[in-house]
Amino acid sequence: MSTFPTLLWLRFRRDRVQIAVWILLFVVLEVIAHAAVTETYGDEAEREGVIRLVILTPAILMLRGTPQGTQPDAFQYFLLFGFLGLMAGLMSTFLAVRHSRADEESGRSELIGSTEAGRITPLLATTSEGVILNVVIGALVGGVALAYGAEPLGALLHGAALAAVGIAYLGVGLACAQIMRTSRGANGLASAIVTLGYLLRAFGDATGTVQPDGLSMEAGWASWLSPIGWGQAVAPYTHQNAWPLLLCLGLAGVLLAVSIALQSSRDLDSGIIPERSGRLHAPRTLAGPLGLAWRLLRNPVIGWVVGGALFGAFLGAVGQSVIDLIDSPEAQQVAGAVSQTLAALTGPGAEGTMIDLFTTGLFALVGALAAIAGVQAVMHARQDEAGGTAEIVLAAPVSRLRWFGSYLVVGAATVAAVLVFAVAGAVLGLIGSPDVGDRVSIVAQAGLAQLPAALLIVAVVALVFAIVPRLSIGLGWAVVLAAVVFGQLGGLFGFPDWLRDVSPFTHTPVVTAAEVDWTAAWAMLAIAVAGGALSLVLLRRRDLALGG
Amino acid sequence: MNTVIQTRGLEKRFGRVRALDGLDLDVEAGEVHGFLGPNGAGKSTTIRVLLGLIRSSGGSATVFGRDPWNDAVELHRRIAYVPGDVSLWPNLSGGEAIDLLTRLRGGMADKRAYLARREHLVEVFQFDPTKKGRAYSKGNRQKVALIAALATPADLYIFDEPTSGLDPLMEAVFRSEIATALDDGATVLLSSHILSEVEHLCDRVSIIRAGRTVEAGTLAELRHLTRTEISFAGDGIGTAQLDAIPGAHDLAVDGARVRFTADSDAMPEVLAALASLRATGVTVNPPSLEELFMRHYHDELEQPAASSLEGARR
């Protein structure tokens, strides 16, 4: 065990930038949410109104969680915790895989394993890093709550719940790394489990039972299958249950024990699920840079498109419940407040029926999804370049234009495909609702409206790659994050206009406006095409930047 | 003879690091040219400039008389390249990667010939093409690039430390496959830091150090710069007689054996002198590049500053 401190130090040393970014992200989101609650819903009556409406709206319950009364801190917890739990889950699983399976795959584990460290100490060091990071984030988030005037025990439980959810998913990440043979496979399985946890909780919360006070809910059974659901069940400002924390820690403990058992019995570089053998010859489609880019990105692209279609179907289907809601007498009194919230998501000048506002508002999130998918495709060019596979392709008679152009084409096609399938999903979900024709027309326009902004973001990331290749992964995702936070969510968070205007999404046409103005859309499309072309020209002029 | 590759005063700077600092290289058509130097001397950087993957900061470089940066795609139709550290796509099988690289090079035009050639190479290199890219060892990844490079004819083959991951058996296979390619009139540039490999394969050699050419010529010319090592049993031979051996350097009596070195072109006189001494147990070690190499790099070991060039390769 004498190597343990060194290995732990090594992990923090490798992750220092990522850790700083994650911590900042958690703290900033927590601060923003507290500030928003104080500012937007400062009045008890306002909070009560929103909660009464939310309880009637499964879609919002799915996105947020189960409300626990009008107490401001409980209200903030209801708004944000589910999302923070999802983030903590992704952060922890990525961390676990990065220091286990990814190391094994790259051969670093072999190097470490040949020293005194052996097989188990690196695993324990990874676990410790993850636990420490989650505890620090929990403490900071609890600290923010305390600073905003939460009562100490509540703030403590608040932070502990977040840390516990993160630690539970740390165990998931470690176990996935044992099972899968590659870090890609392990990350894929782990993030699927985290997402499933979020969705189970979403389903459970949407099917929860309303308490007699009419202002709080008890989650349905499905939420009890999810660590994020356990974290929500802590209800730190009302029920103050500490015991769901034990569920999280127990799950983490079991998965850690399983991981240790597997780690000590299996061969280095082997998985539980065996690797299939590959083809003897390349299929006809794998003939040029475009075929190669498609082959490398096929699986993730299919994943994004399916995600878009499911999200669209969800939007369409819950649309019906929104219509029912609008007709209900309880809704009439708070409809104004909700329209306001939805309009903030949709953009300035939005008007029209509640259902249209709802659909187009949530289509803004589909736009973000499409942009992320497109950026991921384009970013693969950088992985290709840093990993050395671009070198052998470009040493063949393949121009830079054809090589990177292929990634741009796949990226742009991915953006379009995610939007098209989301619209198709929404149309399927809308079947059976009255006025289908009008609904479909609005949904199709809402999908189309997202295209220019998403393409523009892809083009900006392409330019980043062409100009500063070594920074493209970090800077590229920062561009996407900034665009989504300032644009899509800027209205909800109440950011100043000049900041929101930075994001292409802010200029997305508002299709529910009386007069839909497509000027900005055409302008963004033109800029996106010009940016993509410029990135190809600039790429032609720079050295291939290998490594790092 | 036609010049295939020519560089004059080639320079490449990465920030403040000078990876290439006035490199001259001449490769003639139909020869195997050895490109020798220790790690970090600038071999891979030179090759990447010649392939137009990076742009030179100064000096000139031509390949087949054309500019490697501006005419990269045209030139690549005639070139087959095997990098020093081959990276493969993790989810493509070795066989798929070979086919893909061949298609990129336009080598599928004569599909039947290609398939026959590929099958032959897969067999002689004892390569399993059905594994996924991530499952291959360094040597097997190298085989993917080697098979793809050798499966379709090229005018110029560029190998960056081609045998660094191969075992001696596979090295022999590599040599015989190179010989086949040469019969078809190809030119080969082969970088290495392994002297025996270069001595086996190459007609001419350029030795570089810290981004600059320090020695170039045929193996015979370079051997002239080196000395032959001779030793024999020294029983009953006096110092005066030893001093009479013409052209002997570094003479040393080591127990019962006498050792010395001689200039390679002085060998006839040395052997005559040994015969007249009736020397027994004579061993003669042929001149090797090793000595030349060591001589050029000896003082580098005393200049740690040069090691900073290691970073420049990345």
CA distances from A173 to A96, A98, B295 (A): 5, 9, 54
User: A286 and B53 in contact by Cβ < 8 A?
Assistant: no
User: B54 and A544 in contact by Cβ < 8 A?
Assistant: yes
Instruction: Say whether B23 sits in a helix, a strand or coil.
Output: strand
> Helices (H) and strands (E) in chain B — how many of each?
11, 13
Sequence-separated (6 or more) residues with CB below 8 Å from residue B153: B181, B184, B186
B311 touches chain A (CB under 8 A): no
Mean pLDDT, rounded, for B130-147? 90
Q: What residues are paired with B190 via a beta bridge?
A: B34, B159
Q: Where are the domains of chain B?
A: 3-78+154-222, 227-286
Which residues on chain B are in Cβ contact (under 8 Å) with A186?
none
CATH 3.20.20.140 given to domain B3-78+154-222: no
How long a stretch of residues is chain B? 314
B253 touches chain A (CB under 8 A): no
Residue A242 has what pLDDT?
A: 94
| Residue of chain A minimizing CA distance to B47 | A395
Q: Which strand (E) or helix (H) includes residue A170?
A: helix A152-179
Residue B96 has what pLDDT?
A: 94
Percent of chain B having pLDDT more than 90?
Answer: 44
Indicate the pLDDT class of residue B307, thresholds 50, 70 and 90. very low
Residue A53 has what pLDDT?
A: 78
Encoding tokens for residue B105? 């090079």
Q: Strands B280-285, B257-263: parallel, antiparallel or unpaired by DSSP? A: unpaired
User: A397 and B88 in contact by Cβ < 8 A?
Assistant: no
pTM above 0.80, yes or no: no
> What are the φ and ψ backbone dihedral angles of A417, each rounded to 5 degrees?
-65, -40
- From the list A182, A292, A543, the residue facing B134 with the nearest CB is A182
Indicate the pLDDT class of residue B127, thresholds 50, 70 and 90. very high
- From the list A392, A396, A543, the residue facing B55 with the nearest CB is A543
Which residues on chain B are in Cβ contact (under 8 Å) with A544?
48, 53-54
User: B103 and A279 in contact by Cβ < 8 A?
Assistant: no
CA–centroid distance for A264 within its chain: 34
Residue B298 has what pLDDT?
A: 65
Angle at A434 between CA A429 and CA A437, to 5 degrees: 75
Closest-CA distance, B31 to chain A, in angstroms, reads 21
DSSP at A216: B
Identify residues of A whose CB sits under 8 angstroms from chain B CBs.
105, 182, 184, 275, 277-283, 286-289, 292, 295-296, 387-389, 391-399, 543-544, 546-548
Q: Where are the domains of chain A?
A: 1-272, 287-548
* Model ipTM value: 0.79
Closest to B75 (Cα-Cα) out of B202, B204, B207, B187: B187
B73 touches chain A (CB under 8 A): yes
How far apart are alpha carbons A542 and A405 in whole angstroms?
A: 16
Which residues on chain A are in Cβ contact (under 8 Å) with B129?
280
How far apart are alpha carbons A495 and A486 in whole angstroms?
A: 7
- Is the pLDDT score of B169 beyond 80? yes
Choose from B46, B79, B87, B160 for mutation: most chain A CBs within 10 A: B87
Closest-CA distance, A27 to chain B, in angstroms, reads 37
User: A279 and B93 in contact by Cβ < 8 A?
Assistant: yes
User: A277 and B131 in contact by Cβ < 8 A?
Assistant: yes
Closest-CA distance, A35 to chain B, in angstroms, reads 46
Mean pLDDT, rounded, for B291-297? 69
How long a stretch of residues is chain A? 548
| Residue B66 burial (CB count, 10 A) | 15
Residue A259 has what pLDDT?
A: 96
Which residues on chain B are in Cβ contact (under 8 Å) with A546?
314
How far apart are alpha carbons B28 and B30 in whole angstroms?
A: 6
How far apart are alpha carbons A528 and B54 in whole angstroms?
A: 28
B143 touches chain A (CB under 8 A): no
Choose from A273, A279, A406 for mutation: most chain B CBs within 10 A: A279
- Is the pLDDT score of B1 beyond 60? no
SS3 of A189-210: HHHHHHHHHHHHHHHHHHCCEE
User: May I ask the CATH class of domain B227-286?
Assistant: alpha beta
- Reading chain A (548 residues) residue by residue, the pLDDT tens digits are 588 999 999 999 999 988 999 999 899 989 988 888 887 777 888 888 888 878 877 767 877 889 998 899 999 999 889 989 999 999 999 999 999 998 988 888 888 888 888 889 999 999 999 999 999 999 999 999 999 999 999 999 999 999 999 999 999 999 999 998 888 788 888 988 998 898 889 889 988 888 888 889 999 898 999 999 999 999 999 999 999 999 999 999 999 999 999 998 888 777 777 667 788 888 888 889 999 999 999 988 998 899 899 888 877 777 666 666 556 655 555 556 566 666 666 555 555 666 777 777 778 888 989 999 999 899 999 999 998 899 999 999 999 999 999 999 999 999 999 999 999 998 888 877 777 787 888 889 989 999 999 999 999 999 999 999 988 888 888 888 888 878 877 766 667 788 888 889 888 888 777 778 899 999 999 999 999 999 999 999 999 887 64
User: B93 and A277 in contact by Cβ < 8 A?
Assistant: yes
Compute chain A's Rg from CA coordinates: 24
User: A544 and B87 in contact by Cβ < 8 A?
Assistant: no
Compute chain B's Rg from CA coordinates: 23
Read out DSSP for A295-318?
Answer: HHHHHHHHHHHHHHHHHHHHHHHH
Residue A348 has what pLDDT?
A: 55
| Residue of chain B minimizing CA distance to A548 | B314
Q: What residues are paired with B61 via a beta bridge?
A: B7
- From the list A277, A286, A395, the residue facing B51 with the nearest CB is A395
| Residue of chain A minimizing CA distance to B158 | A395
Residue A234 has what pLDDT?
A: 95
- Say if CB A404 and CB A425 are below 8 A apart: no
- Is the pLDDT score of B74 beyond 60? yes
Residue A295 has what pLDDT?
A: 92
CA distances from B14 to A244, A543, B44, B303, B309 (A): 56, 10, 14, 21, 10
Residue B273 has what pLDDT?
A: 86
